[in-house]
């Protein structure tokens, strides 16, 4: 999910990967990588980690998700040192989580129809 607000000069985004838990409990992994190069972002982007955690916590609360059933990875951030604001990143990460889980649910629905 890439979010850019024309005129407000806000730029942010992130990718989300969701899969069933691999161990006893699910996990949240945040990799601070750039969406264009996939390389690690600098120390000035460390604040993205806290924003991503808050967006994830809000998503879990809003959708009453059993977060210990899933492994979630947030990565490939759209980031600019001047034009990336906290609110823009929060909304982009939250929307990417919604999209990732909606795609997962859709996939499960198709798979169960094929089996049944």
- Is the distance from CB of 112 to CB of 32 less than 8 angstroms? no
Q: How many CB atoms lie within 10 A of CB 16?
A: 25
Nearest-angstrom CA–CA distance, 45 and 80: 9
Give the domain range for residue 40.
2-115
Question: Which of the pair, 83 or 71, is modelled with greater confidence?
Answer: 71
pTM above 0.85, yes or no: no
The CATH number of whichever domain residue 110 belongs to comes to: 3.30.230.10
**Structural domain total, the chain:** 1
pLDDT over threshold 70, residue 110: no
1-34 tens-digit pLDDT: 555 454 566 788 899 999 888 889 999 999 999 9
């Amino acid at each position: 999910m890439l979010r850019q607000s024309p005129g407000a000069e806000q730029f942010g985004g992130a990718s989300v990967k969701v899969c069933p838990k691999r161990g006893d409990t699910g996990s949240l992994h945040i990799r601070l990588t750039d969406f264009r190069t996939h390389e690690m972002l600098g120390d000035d982007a460390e604040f993205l980690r806290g924003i991503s955690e808050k967006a994830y916590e809000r998503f879990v609360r809003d959708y009453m998700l059993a977060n210990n059933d899933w492994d979630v990875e947030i990565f490939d951030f759209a980031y600019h040192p001047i034009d990336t604001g906290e609110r823009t990143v929060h909304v982009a990460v939250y929307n990417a989580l919604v999209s990732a889980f909606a795609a997962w649910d859709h996939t499960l629905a198709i798979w169960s129809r094929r089996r049944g």
